[in-house]
Structure 1
Amino acid sequence: MNNICLNCGIVCKANAHTITCDGCQGILHIACVGLSENDVKITRAKSRSIKVVCYTCNNNMAQYKDFKTLISSLQIEFTTAIEKLKEDFDTQLATLRSALHEDQRSPSNQFEEIVNEVMERQNRKQNLIIFGVEEQPQISTNNNNQRSAIDKSAVENILQLVRPDADVSGIKIQRLGRFSQQNPGNKPRPIRVILNDELEVQKFIRNAKVLKSNVNYNNITLSFDRTPKQNASYRQVKEQLGIRISNGETNLRIKYINGSPKIVSNVRGLRSKISNFYNSVSELINVDIIALTETWLASDISNTEFLPHDFVVYRKDRDLQAMGVSRGGGVLLGINNTLKSSALDLSYLGDIVPTIDVVGVKLLSVKQELILIVLYVPPQVSVHEFQLFLEALSRIDIQENNKILICGDFNIPDFTLGKINQFTLSLNNFQSFLNLEQHNNVQNKYHHILDLVFSNIECKVEASDFNFVDDDVHHPSLCIVIKSVIPLDQSFPINNLEQYDFRKANFPVLYDMLYSCNWDFLDTDGSVDEICSLFYAKLHEIFDLAVPKFKIKLSTNRRQYPPWFNQEIRNAIRTKYSLHKLYKKYKTAHYYNLFKFHRSKCKVLIQNAYRMYMRKIENNISIDPKSFWMFLHNKKGSTRIPGLMRYDDRELSCPQAIVNAFAHHFSNVYIKSDCLAPFCTTNETAAQLSVTITSLSEKDILLALKNCKNTFTSGPDGIPSFLLKDCAYISL
């Protein structure tokens, strides 16, 4: 057996005081371990629960505990997966047994029905259904030719309005259903229109929205000619949609995907989901930049309606009137106010190619500047327009050490697939000219990449686990991590880092000192400023003896949650982020499922709290209008001083320089007096500094002090209003 001490490495003598490690059975000097005689007696007892281990065994045990924790999580994950597989197998087995029990038809009959359904759908692809065309009740039911002629003329007028360039002379029409002259008030029967090509049907359906803007045809709708089974499937999906909406889900609609009706989320545009977007952004932590495309915003929506005051918003809304459309487009950048940012002038790009929306920002960091550009390229943009846009964008003023990041919806799936065409060649030339690299490899549901991220700096792009709204199947949310940019602290300096905490004041001592103080020293000759300084110096001397102080926290990372974020919501947010860190560390489905559960829980809690908050404001608007105006002011305005501004052709980023620029700009609204003479020493001085007050009695002052609110909030002088109210008679 080795008698060398595991700690000091010296050979242990036979009579030396030693102890054995319960882990590796090695020898340790008691002096090296630092145990007392009583501790040694306890460790040498026969029946003991205390173990003695060396430093090496202790570290191994710590690693073993981490490994044991990981094994336990994997066991839970494995057990959960086995139970889910068993449950799915039992469900599928029960479904098959039920189908075999209920459907006793032969396989040949089922195959025949499927073939007939496919043929019926194929035959109906060239048909178009028109709803809402009025019938003529005064025409006899026997005169079908006259009725058909009138219907055909009406259908031709409708189709010509939808597509003026279409040839509708050879169409065939048919009213569906039996005409009843006894019920003229019933809805008009739909008309089936038989066209020559199914592509023509799709074009008419796509352009049918023009009927809504026409007063004479705004009740006319166009639809595909679907089979009874297709209609039954649609009704079933519609019932499911009604159930999900009644359960509180929003922004849902029915969309045909591969010929089948599906319930999807309406994620394009922010107009219909402003409150949900605002709440989702408010719960985010450590997010510096938010980039959005297809915002569908207009000038009637302010920035603070969908983003908190923590962000400075730069956006480019689509000029709907110039484009001749009613909605669509638009890009946006939200920059955290801890970053210094200024807008890039990219208006010339809109003059060259108005169909492409683009917005740019310049970020200032300690080491370099970052040029950040977000753009949206609509699918209908021509090759010529795209080439003109890239050529103009490549002429942007970029310094040698500037870093660039250009991201957005390019709608060019062929670029990442390696296909060669005019679009991909132009984009490759643009990328090579600016020495950029494409970093996004996150595919959408259809295995395409429409959102591209070009940059000349190191960045990591992955699918985001935190979505503002439900993901679009074509555009999954992305998380871009930029490692080269170091944010600057933009907190404006505060002279007083401490304030009096009147909530913990010793009020008997405070009021006694204020009452017993001799204020005769104020009746001296001197300027108003000197007397005021003496008054505040005495007050602060008394406050220091009776009121404790507390330090002001100036952390820029402090979260400013909306008023409806209660403590339960804040705890749920912290739990969600803790689970997300564990998932990122261990990459197990167990932690990811827990994270998903708490992510959904946060959304439900926030939606319910916001709904209750809004209901409370609406119900109490007559008795508590202040809460309503506070909410409105918070949504419409912001009082934050910008972190970067231009003044007199100078770019200012220093807080003191920005404040001085504001003071210089507004200096023309007041007159600065050079007179520093004592107050009212001469008639001339009094005329220069006088403020005319007709009469001011002690009663007026007492009445004004009594109307002060009983609040602990202090003004610029650090004196709360409740103290002025309580000490009204003392101060006079």
Structure 2
Amino acid sequence: MGSQTYEYLGNSSVMWICPSPSCGLPNYSAGSLFSNGNIELTNSFSSLPSVDDNNMPRSPLAASSPIGKNKPNQPPLNPKKDNLRIMVVNCQGLRTKKESFAACVDNLNPDIVIGTESWLDDSVTNSEVFPHNLVVYRKDRITHAGGVFIAIRDNMIGTHVTDLDCDCELTWTQIQIVGCKTILLGAFYRKPDQNDEHYLAKLRDSLSRIKPDKGTIICLAGDFNLGEINWPSLSTAQGCKKPTLSRQLLDIVCDFSLEQMVTEPTRKGNILDLFLTSHPSLVSRSIVTPGISDHDGIPLIDMETKPSVEKQKKRKIYLYKKIDLEGLKQEIKTLCENITDMANTTSSSVEDLWNTFKDGIHASMDANIPSKMVGKKHQSPWISPRIKRLLRRKQRAYNKARKSNLTEDWENFKKQRKMVKTETKKAYWEYVKGTCLESPKQFWSFINKMKKDNTGISTLRSGGNLVSENIQKAEVLNTQFESVFTKERPLDPSLTTLKVLYPNIPQINFTTAGIVKLLKNQKENKASGPDNIPAKILKIAADEIGPALTVIFQKSLDSATPPNDWLLANISPIYKKG
């Protein structure tokens, strides 16, 4: 634009638009806006020179405050560290949806999962359908379908409360919470055709048996199949088809001072999946995410409470593929020579010799074998970044369908949900196929995990009280083991004067060759004992270790004094019927 054109437009009474492709903004002249005012309108700047539009400066590529795309203000799915996240899900058959369920748990990262319609029975173990990092308390229906469960993280302290059980699909679990006493979780399911008023009366009876305690938080969730209730006003909707059952549920909620926290529909415009709590002020957020069954949504509740967890220490693993074998053998050889000299030249005890040997082995391993610290993995190994992208795409499709409520958006969401289900199932079986074909050991390890539940020691009862903490369980089991062992009486002095009819056994001497032979026959994949010396090290350095162990074994036998480590053992109680 030339200077004459610019001055002409500036003195006119028209609106004009800058012809530059990089601008395109409207400009208003003085005459059209301020012709009747007394405002100073002179411009102290000179007009722009005539330039080519192609050489006009463009918008900067970056700025201190870049303008981003307009995105909906969606709350993040990742919870705060101090929050307790609870997921309420209708499964409609876990055996056929275990891959989708595992992907949903991995994506939403809940601490507690309250599920309904599991469709399980006694022939199905928890490890077959649930992720291995969940401890599951479930109640199956005797007939087909139905069933409820409560699954908690394996590092949380939970107890199955059997005193509140009743003759309906209801189960209770108690969770320890930091800063207060307990949180009582209940999972409930009512069939759509269950019109008997006595069914909800059983729920009332179970709630009435809860001991009143100011520190106990009650959370009851599940699929109640009563969607014609106006929860803000605590009344039944107009034209309610089941007014008696709806009013009965409202009476239970009011009588026990509970409040319903789910505000968005979970199936076809109705709120069927409920979350009732006695402490609504602790609920910081309640949203609904895409479901895995005929229920469109899964309620997700964040509570401002911190669960008590058992922190698992990371363990050190050695990278044997990068071992400095020659350096390791040389250091162990020097160590064993020093131990032999100690035994011959000093009055060192068996305990001193053993501790020197054990500490030296550990120091040699740290110096010649790289290591790393690993913790327990909570993620399913077959959930790849691609699966996570599909889950996020499904979440966006769900959010769009909920916002627009258009038929094509809901169809797109269903398409995305079907794709996620197909891809997760495919990824799971590809992982299983690849794992099982690698080695027989991994194959049988996978089979054994499917056959049994790895939930540790269950809750024990001692003196009428339930014991859930690990230290308390160990004390109870130790007391039980001690009570069934025979307590030896002191030896009668008269027996020592009896004539011995058999000759004494000759002196027992250990040989280095025999010990080396036993060391080389060790199985490398066996776990180490309380001394934490791997069998692999004993085997690969058998020739260097043999002389030192010969000295220690011989001195221990001659003095009748074993080292303290030899009196320790790792004991795992195994349940046995009978």
TM-score, length-scaled by structure 2: 0.62
Letter matched to residue 462 of structure 1: I
- Equivalent pair of 1:572/1:598 in contact (CA under 8 Å): no
Secondary structure, aligned partner of 2:307: coil
Matched, 1:534 2:356: yes
Secondary structure, aligned partner of 1:394: helix
**What's the counterpart of residue 462 of structure 1?**
287
Secondary structure, aligned partner of 1:427: helix
Assess, with a 3 A threshold, how the Cα gap between structure 1 residues 581 and 446 changes in structure 2: closer, same or farther: closer
Assess, with a 3 A threshold, how the Cα gap between structure 1 residues 642 and 432 changes in structure 2: closer, same or farther: same
Once the two structures are superposed, the pairs formed by residues 363-374 of structure 1 within 5 Å of their partners are 363-368=175-180, 369-374=182-187
Q: 1:714 & 1:290 partners in 2: Cα distance?
A: 36
Moved more, 641-650 or 388-397: 641-650
List structure 1 segments (4+ residues) > 6 angstroms apart after TM superposition: 524-527, 577-589, 592-602, 671-675, 692-697
User: Residues 574-624 of structure 1: CA distance to partner in whole angstroms, max 9, x if unpaired?
Assistant: 6567879999999999xx999999987765554334333444677x6xx95
Assess, with a 3 A threshold, how the Cα gap between structure 1 residues 343 and 629 changes in structure 2: closer, same or farther: same
Q: CA deviation at 1:414?
A: 2.9
Assess, with a 3 A threshold, how the Cα gap between structure 1 residues 632 and 404 changes in structure 2: closer, same or farther: same
From 617, 620, 626, give the equivalent of 2:441: 626
**What's the counterpart of residue 280 of structure 1?**
103
Secondary structure, aligned partner of 1:379: coil
Secondary structure, aligned partner of 1:516: helix
Q: CA deviation at 1:331?
A: 0.9
Query: Relative contact order: is structure 1 or structure 2 higher (C-alpha 8 Å, sep ≥ 6)?
Result: 2
From 105, 108, 125, give the equivalent of 1:302: 125
Q: CA deviation at 1:543?
A: 3.9
Q: 1:710 & 1:673 partners in 2: Cα distance?
A: 38
Secondary structure, aligned partner of 1:333: strand
**What's the counterpart of residue 427 of structure 1?**
249
Q: CA deviation at 1:671?
A: 6.5
Moved more, 636-645 or 484-493: 636-645
Q: CA deviation at 1:708?
A: 3.6
User: Residues 625-680 of structure 1: CA distance to partner in whole angstroms, max 9, x if unpaired?
Assistant: 433321121123344545965433344455433333333333346578999xxxxx
**What's the counterpart of residue 205 of structure 2?**
392
Matched, 1:376 2:189: yes
Q: CA deviation at 1:380?
A: 3.5
**What's the counterpart of residue 438 of structure 1?**
260
Q: 2:424 & 2:217 partners in 1: Cα distance?
A: 38
User: Residues 444-469 of structure 1: CA distance to partner in whole angstroms, max 9, x if unpaired?
Assistant: 5543333222223333433213x4x3
Assess, with a 3 A threshold, how the Cα gap between structure 1 residues 582 and 510 changes in structure 2: closer, same or farther: farther
Aligned residues: 434
Assess, with a 3 A threshold, how the Cα gap between structure 1 residues 664 and 553 changes in structure 2: closer, same or farther: farther
Tell which structure's C-alpha radius of gyration is larger: 1
**What's the counterpart of residue 314 of structure 1?**
137
Q: 1:328 & 1:710 partners in 2: Cα distance?
A: 47
Q: Which runs of 5+ in 2 are unaligned?
A: 1-59, 73-89, 231-235, 405-409, 491-495, 498-505, 547-578
Letter matched to residue 62 of structure 1: S
Secondary structure, aligned partner of 1:422: helix
Matched, 1:637 2:452: yes
Assess, with a 3 A threshold, how the Cα gap between structure 1 residues 442 and 642 changes in structure 2: closer, same or farther: farther
Secondary structure, aligned partner of 1:284: helix
Once the two structures are superposed, the pairs formed by residues 57-456 of structure 1 within 5 Å of their partners are 61-63=63-65, 65=66, 67=67, 69-70=68-69, 268-271=92-95, 273=96, 275-277=98-100, 279-280=102-103, 283-320=106-143, 327-345=144-162, 349-350=166-167, 356-368=168-180, 369-386=182-199, 388-397=201-210, 398-416=212-230, 417-419=236-238, 421-444=243-266, 446-456=268-278
Letter matched to residue 286 of structure 2: V
- Equivalent pair of 2:526/2:535 in contact (CA under 8 Å): yes
Q: Provide the aligned C-alpha RMSD in A.
A: 4.6
Secondary structure, aligned partner of 1:539: helix
- Equivalent pair of 1:461/1:478 in contact (CA under 8 Å): no
**What's the counterpart of residue 507 of structure 1?**
325
Assess, with a 3 A threshold, how the Cα gap between structure 1 residues 546 and 628 changes in structure 2: closer, same or farther: closer
Secondary structure, aligned partner of 1:70: coil
Q: CA deviation at 1:721?
A: 3.1
Assess, with a 3 A threshold, how the Cα gap between structure 1 residues 594 and 298 changes in structure 2: closer, same or farther: closer
Q: Percent identity?
A: 22
Q: Which runs of 5+ in 1 are unaligned?
A: 1-57, 75-265, 321-326, 351-355, 676-681, 684-691
Q: 2:387 & 2:509 partners in 1: Cα distance?
A: 58
Q: 1:656 & 1:553 partners in 2: Cα distance?
A: 24
Q: CA deviation at 1:316?
A: 1.0
Q: 2:113 & 2:348 partners in 1: Cα distance?
A: 57
Letter matched to residue 69 of structure 2: L
Q: 1:279 & 1:269 partners in 2: Cα distance?
A: 13
Letter matched to residue 357 of structure 1: E
Q: 1:303 & 1:485 partners in 2: Cα distance?
A: 27
- Equivalent pair of 1:579/1:594 in contact (CA under 8 Å): no
Assess, with a 3 A threshold, how the Cα gap between structure 1 residues 313 and 415 changes in structure 2: closer, same or farther: same
Q: 1:513 & 1:632 partners in 2: Cα distance?
A: 42
Assess, with a 3 A threshold, how the Cα gap between structure 1 residues 274 and 697 changes in structure 2: closer, same or farther: farther
Q: 1:695 & 1:278 partners in 2: Cα distance?
A: 62
Q: CA deviation at 1:315?
A: 0.9
Q: 1:269 & 1:588 partners in 2: Cα distance?
A: 29
Q: CA deviation at 1:339?
A: 2.4
User: Residues 66-105 of structure 1: CA distance to partner in whole angstroms, max 9, x if unpaired?
Assistant: x2x215x79xxxxxxxxxxxxxxxxxxxxxxxxxxxxxxx
- Equivalent pair of 2:286/2:300 in contact (CA under 8 Å): yes
Assess, with a 3 A threshold, how the Cα gap between structure 1 residues 673 and 491 changes in structure 2: closer, same or farther: farther
Q: 1:648 & 1:425 partners in 2: Cα distance?
A: 42
Assess, with a 3 A threshold, how the Cα gap between structure 1 residues 693 and 598 changes in structure 2: closer, same or farther: farther
